Amino acid sequence: LTLEPAAGAGAALHWSALDVPALVAALAREGVGEARVEAGADGCIVHLPRHDTLVHVERHATHVFCEGRADVRQALRRALAACLPHI
Amino acid sequence: LCVKDNRLSLLDLDEICDEIGINRHVIRFTSTVRFDDPGPSVKTAEKLKTLLAEKLQGWSITISDGNISVESVLIKVEGDDDSTKSIYVSWTNQDEDLGSYILGLLQSMVQ
């Protein structure tokens, strides 16, 4: 199996800041619950212990550290897309 | 592709955001794969690059200081010479297909 370079563009372009309470609600709707939010110096960290995942949220960037489960990652992508303006 | 100063221009995502005056929000994913491969981490990285070059024909794959790059996908190998290596695979949301493919490839390699 090989992967060919795609001819078209990739996923959506997101902008603005992330609404963290909206993200937690969107994650719960996706079945990714029990989120704990901790404030930090430059943003916050959303901890999802049941899924071994940390979401580091800054004003213009979100970095997801997860253990590679595709279903959890896709749920996170849908939740993030629901909380950020995008085209 | 956009019209700028009456000329067609090809812009990357950051340039588009500058042009239309919005602050891009970059989403990045990072996952870790453990790989039992004794020896220097640079050697492990070279093996991975060879594997990726075989599987990703037509893609530009670069390696620098043991860090491999394919588009926005970054692959970093860490670990002592005589221990299991941690392979960090990181990619932006725009490169989900490529990033998840590479992660899956590395996960299947270590099983």
Contact B26 A12 (CB under 8 A): no
Q: What residue ranges of chain B have pLDDT lower than 50?
A: none
A55, amino acid identity: V
Q: Is the pLDDT of residue A9 over 80?
A: no
The ipTM value here is 0.86
Number of structural domains in chain A: 1
Number of structural domains in chain B: 1
Is B41 contained in some domain? yes
Dist CA A20 CA A45 (whole Å):
9
Q: How far is CA B35 from CA A35, B30, B63, B82, B88, in A?
A: 30, 16, 19, 12, 11
The CATH number of residue A47's host domain is 3.30.310
The percent of residues in chain A predicted with pLDDT above 70, rounded, is 87
Is B5 contained in some domain? no
When pLDDT is averaged across residues A36-64 and rounded to a whole number, the result is 93
When pLDDT is averaged across residues A64-70 and rounded to a whole number, the result is 89
For A11-22, what is each residue's pLDDT tens digit?
A: 678 888 899 999
When scoring B10, B25, B31, B54 by the number of chain A Cβ atoms within 10 A, the one with the most, hence best to mutate, is B25
For B23, other C-beta atoms within 10 Å of its C-beta total: 12
Is B16 contained in some domain? no
Host domain of residue A27:
20-83
How far is the alpha carbon of A36 from chain B, nearest alpha carbon, in Å? 19
Is B3 contained in some domain? no
